[in-house]
Amino acid sequence: MSKIVVIGESREGELRNVTFEAVAAAKKIDADAEVVGIICGNGDLQVQGEEIIRYGADRAVTVAHEKLENYTSEGYGQAVLAVIQDESPDGIVMGHTSIGKDLTPKLAAKLGTGLVSDAVDIGADDDNITFTRPIYSGKAFEKKVITDGLTFVTIRPNNIAPLEKDESREGKVISKEVDITDIRTVIKDVIRKATEGVDLSEANVVIAGGRGVKSDEGFKPLYELAEELGGAVGASRGACDAEYCDYALQIGQTGKVVTPDLYIAVGISGAIQHLAGMSNSKVIVAINKDPEANIFNVADYGIVGDLFEVVPKLTEEIRKM
């Protein structure tokens, strides 16, 4: 039986959904694998350890330290590496999030192994496990096979469904002490922007505004629609550059990558750099007054019209449902 460790990620004391997706990914790699969750942080991590087990892990190892209160690649690098060296796993899975993108290449280098990043699907061809990942800004997909060494993978959030939570599932939560030294980065304060409500990277519905929204005031109807649909608001870089919203909302090649069930692009032209961050969304709706806008080439449904009329009408109709 193989052993796969899942590096958990939490925000404000709660494990992020992508952690549970990573557990499901580990089971896709090897249905019989022993899955060990690694959870780092400060304070009591028992509850998070139990939570990852309820989502399919067999046991959890927690590393609590005051220097792990906030993520730093040095602190988390030392903690996670110590657990990996203890466990000697056959595989490692983590979410392809900002933290995952920062931490996993560092770990791969330390472990002298390769890394398949940003997998959106895990399947099997003949006797090999295949990892499908987008390339060329999402214009094509490639399948990777790991032939040697550790199976080290990051998975794109919202693509691999988590296993059903089993409240009765039990396993050991072991706390490990790691001496965290040599941290050159000291986080003095964390100022969160645009994180109220649903987390953009994990949202099932995203309403994104572009330069066509014309002002920060113009984003208000998008927030109202997002609230009705239980979604998050995102933006194109055009809107961020124009200071209509914060860069934390930017979606695209140099922003966040999202894969919601529903993506509504409002007043966004559909530049290739924007498509790189959203074209794998399950259903794409575009609202644009220009029928020739490139966004319609990737949209499943298109509404040609003035967003200032269309968005409030849409919200009104949804409220009636």
Q: Which residues bind ligand FAD (CB under 6 A)?
A: 210-212, 236-239, 250-255, 267-269, 271, 273-274, 277, 287-290, 293, 306-308
Q: How far is the CB of 321 from ligand FAD (least distance, A)?
A: 24
Q: In terms of CB distance, is 44 or 246 closer to ligand FAD?
A: 246
Q: Which residue's CB is nearer to ligand FAD, number 64 or number 222? A: 222
In terms of Cβ atoms closer than 10 Å to its own Cβ (0-12, 13-18, 19+), residue 152 is buried
Q: Does residue 269 contact residue 242 with C-beta atoms inside 8 Å?
A: no
Strands, E assignment, 156-307: 173-175, 205-209, 232-235, 262-266, 283-288, 301-304
C-beta of 78 vs 236, nearer to ligand FAD = 236
How far CA 139 is from CA of 134, 275, 276, in Å, comes to: 7, 9, 8
Cβ closer to ligand FAD: 114 or 305?
305
The span from the CA of 190 to the CA of 193, in Å, is 10
Which of 81, 271 has the CB closer to ligand FAD?
A: 271
Task: Count how many residues are written for the chain.
Answer: 321
- We find the least distance from the C-beta atom of residue 256 to ligand FAD, in angstroms, to be 8
User: Minimum Å distance from CB 307 to ligand FAD?
Assistant: 4
Among residues 142, 132, 135, the alpha carbon closest in space to that of 276 is found at 135
Q: Which C-beta is closer to ligand FAD: that of 71 or that of 244?
A: 244
- Cα torsion 98, 123, 263, 215 to 10°: value is 20
| End-to-end CA, the chain | 50
Question: Cβ of residue 272: shortest distance to ligand FAD, in angstroms?
Answer: 7
In the complex, what is the shortest distance from the CB of residue 211 to ligand FAD, in angstroms, rounded to a whole number?
A: 3
Please report, for residues 100, 118, 150, 230, 284, the alpha-carbon distance to residue 262 in angstroms, rounded to integers and kept in the order given: 24, 20, 35, 11, 6
Task: Give the pair of three-digit tokens for residue 239.
Answer: 């809107």
- For residue 314, the minimal CB distance to ligand FAD (Å) is 13
